Structure 1
Amino acid sequence: MSPVSTTSLKLPDEIKLQAANAAKDLGVTTHAFMVEAIKQASINAELRRSFLEDANNARNEVLQEGKVHDADKVFKHLKARIAGKKSNLKATNW
């Protein structure tokens, strides 16, 4: 088990009550609920950061190389693949 440190949170009464009610509904302590909520918020923040980084990298790649996929052709390609047909999708110049 990793080391544990103590952190104090000052919560408005409304949020504290919401957390307590949610914890009760889930059958966990308020503390466990808050720890899990903070963990999930941290994971979500990292996923968002990674998503935005990937999006910026893709944008930069398009700007540098000028290659894109036409949306209509992408949808046609996906429908063909779902139907078990072969389909080639080629990028075109922007």
Structure 2
Amino acid sequence: MVSTTSLKLTEEIKQQATNAAKELGMTPHAFMVEAIKQASINAEIRRNFIQQANIAREGVIKNGKVFESDKVFEAMKARIAGKKSTLKVSNW
């Protein structure tokens, strides 16, 4: 069963949602449901990103090993150009 939730929106936000929904061929309700769904997905992606960044940071603090950013960019450019490239670990 689907539960009901009430949102109090300003007239400006209601109008923006209505206009956007119309352009997308959706009802305002469907647009708002999709917007909430996307916001929830984005929040989860951000949470996971921050969690992985904190894990990586802890690893750097623990072992002091990093890749220098300019070397990473050089390696990426080389690989895009079809050349072989290797990265060497540096001490932080």
Instruction: Look up the match of 1:41.
Output: 39
Shift, 1:68, TM fit: 0.6
Match of 1:58 in 2: 56
Structure 1 residue aligned with 2:9, among 1, 5, 11? 11
**Gap runs ≥5 in structure 1:** none
Give the fraction of aligned pairs with identical amino acids, expressed as a percent: 70
Residues 17-47 of structure 1, C-alpha deviation per residue, up to 9 Å, x if partnerless? 1111111111110100000000000011111
Q: Distance in 2 between matches of 1:83 and 1:26?
A: 40
Match of 1:28 among 9, 22, 26: 26
Q: CA RMSD of the aligned region, Å? A: 1.1
**AA of the residue aligned to 2:20:** A
Structure 2 regions of 5+ residues with no counterpart?
Answer: none
1:48 CA drift (Å): 0.8
